[in-house]
């Protein structure tokens, strides 16, 4: 057995955390031989609820879970953490504008960035789940200058999982037979779910998705729009945003970042743009990445047709607008 690692989950009394914490404690994220200490951060009024969550974690009787610390103090929560799940954010309500959501979240991620900078391990892996995740990750990294910018990522794995599930349903195959679907851009309705490089394993052979489905119109319209609007559809049905599926995606994202991707496969992560595929630098943009030894690399050399380029431009423009909006909120030039 390894030494326990410290893992912080913010918004720990909330719905997403409720599904995520079991995965962490059971070993499905960091591996079956990695003990963990959980640091659970939430706001003071949620401490009583958090006590109940701690009781449930104790009652799971899971051997990998060594210590659980509930707290409203960021200096306690972020102390010496190796991994951070930043789930806590102002929740998106039905009909809420993204800029209002962004303004409400800037202050949260400023505080958490400063706490990471001061207390966390310098190689901490930070996953921002709370929306608007891409720009929240950018803000957070800005306030943690001593931690490498590439250590801050935003979750688009939920969108990737949704896209994979939609394609497998269309083809009537198991979801794990579909590989390498890409989510480009923002975790918002401007994202571009791209099946043009994806494959499906059929009984006789592995085929490009485009050939297996053989319906370009469906792939460019119905498929794209369904994934873009899936979060809103869940909110309309549940009256709350995705929780169980978001928690599963957060676990998937961190597990792949921690243990690596399989040969020939890539996953989508919101990472700081280095200019790949003509995307403006210094926005957190979802790219396909491969991961080895805890380090991700953006997949290079994929062909981008005119249709895809137009979609990439729309989502990168939105992210540039969000970055400007965040700077305005922070009264920065």
Which pLDDT tens digit goes with each residue over 253-294?
999 999 999 999 999 999 999 999 999 999 999 999 999 999
Strands 125-128 and 83-86: parallel
pLDDT exceeding 70 applies to what percent of the chain?
97
| Catalytic status, residue 142 | no
Q: Is 282 annotated in some ligand binding site?
A: no
CATH architecture of 5-154: 3-Layer(aba) Sandwich (3.40)
Q: Is 98 annotated in some ligand binding site?
A: yes
Average pLDDT, the chain: 95
Q: What tokens does 27 get?
A: 């070993």
Q: What is the pLDDT of residue 332?
A: 54
**Do 157 and 268 meet the contact criterion of CB atoms below 8 Å apart?**
yes
Residue 5 three-state SS: strand
Among 187, 197, 253, 331, the one annotated catalytic: 187
Cβ-based neighbour number of residue 255 at 10 Å: 17
Q: Is 39 annotated in some ligand binding site?
A: no
Question: Apex CA 71: angle with CA 67 and CA 77, to 5°?
Answer: 70
For domain 156-321, give the CATH number. Answer: 3.90.110.10
Q: What is the pLDDT of residue 333?
A: 39
Q: Who's near 2: CB < 8 A, 6+ residues apart?
A: 33, 34, 35
pTM above 0.85, yes or no: yes
Lowest mean pLDDT among 88-92, 136-140, 185-189, 197-201: 88-92
Tell whether the model's pLDDT for residue 99 goes beyond 80.
no
Question: 10: pLDDT confidence band, cut at 50, 70 and 90?
Answer: very high
| Bridge partners, residue 201, by sequence | 206
278 vs 325 pLDDT, higher one:
278
Q: What tokens does 99 get?
A: 């800029």
Return the closest-CA partner of residue 197 out of 185, 214, 209. Answer: 209
Q: What is the pLDDT of residue 92?
A: 67
- Domain ranges (residues) in the chain: 5-154, 156-321
Element (H, E) at 77: helix 74-77
Q: Is 162 annotated in some ligand binding site?
A: yes
99 vs 63 pLDDT, higher one:
63
**Do 85 and 46 meet the contact criterion of CB atoms below 8 Å apart?**
no
Cβ-based neighbour number of residue 36 at 10 Å: 23
């Amino acid at each position: 057995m390894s030494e326990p690692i410290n893992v912080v989950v913010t918004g720990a009394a909330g719905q997403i955390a409720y599904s995520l914490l079991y995965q962490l404690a059971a070993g499905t994220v960091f591996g079956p031989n990695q003990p963990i200490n959980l640091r659970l951060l939430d706001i003071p009024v949620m401490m009583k609820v958090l006590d109940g969550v701690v009781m449930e974690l104790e009652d799971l009787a899971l051997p990998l879970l060594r210590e659980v610390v509930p707290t409203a103090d960021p200096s306690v929560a972020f102390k010496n953490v190796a991994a951070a799940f930043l789930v806590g954010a102002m929740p998106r309500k039905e009909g809420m504008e993204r800029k209002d959501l962004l303004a409400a979240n800037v202050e949260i991620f400023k505080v958490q960035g400063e706490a990471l900078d001061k207390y966390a391990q310098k190689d901490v892996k930070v996953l921002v789940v709370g929306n608007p995740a891409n720009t929240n990750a950018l803000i957070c990294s800005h306030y943690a200058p001593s931690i490498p910018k590439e250590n801050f990522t935003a979750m688009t794995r939920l969108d990737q999982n949704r896209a994979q599930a939609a394609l497998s349903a269309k083809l009537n195959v198991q979801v794990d037979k579909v590989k390498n679907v890409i989510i480009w851009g923002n975790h918002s309705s401007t994202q571009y779910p791209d099946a043009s490089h994806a494959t499906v394993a059929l009984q006789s052979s592995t085929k490009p998705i485009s050939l297996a489905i053989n319906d370009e119109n469906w792939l460019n319209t119905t498929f794209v729009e369904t994934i873009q609007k899936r979060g809103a559809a869940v909110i309309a049905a549940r009256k709350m945003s995705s929780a169980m599926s978001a928690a599963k995606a957060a676990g998937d994202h961190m597990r792949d970042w921690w243990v690596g991707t399989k040969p020939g496969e890539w996953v989508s992560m919101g990472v700081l743009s280095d200019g790949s595929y003509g995307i403006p630098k210094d926005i957190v943009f979802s790219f396909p990445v491969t991961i080895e030894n805890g380090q991700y690399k953006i997949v290079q050399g994929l062909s981008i047709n005119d249709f895809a380029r137009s979609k990439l431009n729309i989502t990168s423009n939105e992210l540039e607008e969000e970055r400007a909006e965040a700077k305005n909120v922070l009264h920065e030039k």
